[in-house]
Amino acid sequence: MNTKICSLLGIEFPLFAFSHCRDVVAAVSRAGGMGVLGAVTLTPAQLEEELRWIDDHVDGKPYGIDVIVPNKIEGKGQAFDAERMVAALPEDHRRFTAELLQRHDVDASDLDTLRRDYLNFGVNLQEGGAGELLDVAFAHPIKLIANALGVPPASMIARAKAEGVPVAALVGTPDHARRQIDAGVDILVAAGGEAGGHCGEVATMVLVPEVVRAVAEAGSEVPVLAAGGIVTGAQMAAAMAMGAAGAWCGSVWLTTAEAETAPAVKEKMLAATSRDTVRSKSRTGKPSRQLRSVWTDAWESGEGPQPLPMPLQSLITEPALAKINKLADGGHEGARTLATYWVGQGVGLMTASRGAGQVVQDFKEDFATAYERLHRLMEG
């Protein structure tokens, strides 16, 4: 397609793949879309390794990275103190998690030790930590940098502009969109409430035209990508009929052959219906949509503690869930019932594992079929 955003980024088809898996990123970019590597949990050294691998496997096609630099966060502005952060975790939350694991025959005695492996997330959420990631990223030929939560700091936008790299930002309301435009972002990602991961309340079908309208009313020409529930080319065509410049997808890559999603979770996702997700604060402290499981049901039951603010809640949940998903892959029954990961309602339409490049091809064909439907209505 010969659109503004395709020219801006040098891509053929405006389908974006947010993924933590470098193989997915490279495969999507090679297939004509744009892979965007989720970098928030990586150390600078890990990011360097991932981007070097992508450079070697992307055939010179454009790709991007995704970070989280929220405007308001627990402990922002203070020097990051990992020990202090782990020590600040309330006993209630540790105990609730441990008891939940034990009830399903999962040993919980090593959770505090495991927590120490999950501190990068907290580090990267600080402006200083994100800065080190950016140093690494800008040393590679990235063509897009996205901020997944809130308005990026002025320093990040200024630096990206100096490097000639467009900045994208996720928004869940027209108000967010106006603030992002004022801050100078180049691309908006309107993420509906059906999206996996952090999401707002307004559904994609309403949010996309609302954000498109807000952009026009602001006299801006910033392109708007649609996110939330989109796992097929027909849905992408639908979003673009409403004025979106393309589709930003996360969930659909999770069940691809290349994805590093825990096999037990992949299997659950392929079997899940669109009703098998839940939007909950229990994983990160902010509302995010996840595959429903015994784990999410327990946190949503009202019997546990209230989620901690970001990033503390992640230090409670991520080590436990990493352990659970690993055990589930090994066939541990209790762990299988607990296993979960972020995914959107589109999971109901994801019923077979494919290669990531094949997903891009399927999107293109399905997009064309959807267009033909409207073409027959209008011209037939």
Binding residues for a second copy, per CB under 8 A? Answer: 1-3, 173-175, 192-194, 200-207, 209-210, 213, 228-230, 232, 234-235, 237-243, 273-275, 344-346, 348-349, 368, 370-371, 373-375, 377-378, 380
> Residue 14 CB, nearest distance to a second copy (Å)?
9
Encoded tokens for 152:
């990026």
Integer Cα distance of 272 and 93 in angstroms: 29
Question: Across the beta sheet with 277-280, what order do the strands follow?
Answer: 197-198, 288-291, 277-280
Q: Which is nearer to a second copy, 154 or 206 (CB)?
A: 206
> Residue 203 CB, nearest distance to a second copy (Å)?
4
> Residue 109 CB, nearest distance to a second copy (Å)?
36
User: Is there a cis peptide before residue 62, judged by omega within 30 degrees of 0?
Assistant: no
Among the residues of 82-203, which ranges form H helices? 82-87, 91-103, 111-115, 119-124, 127-138, 154-163, 174-183
> Residue 355 CB, nearest distance to a second copy (Å)?
21
Classify residue 312 by burial, with Cβ atoms within 10 Å: 0-12, 13-18, 19+.
buried
> Residue 201 CB, nearest distance to a second copy (Å)?
6
Q: Which is nearer to a second copy, 151 or 245 (CB)?
A: 245
Integer Cα distance of 223 and 311 in angstroms: 30
Q: Which is nearer to a second copy, 133 or 278 (CB)?
A: 278
Q: Which is nearer to a second copy, 29 or 235 (CB)?
A: 235
> Residue 379 CB, nearest distance to a second copy (Å)?
9
Provide the 3-class DSSP secondary structure of residue 220: coil
Q: Which is nearer to a second copy, 137 or 224 (CB)?
A: 224
Integer Cα distance of 92 and 89 in angstroms: 9
Q: Which is nearer to a second copy, 125 or 350 (CB)?
A: 350
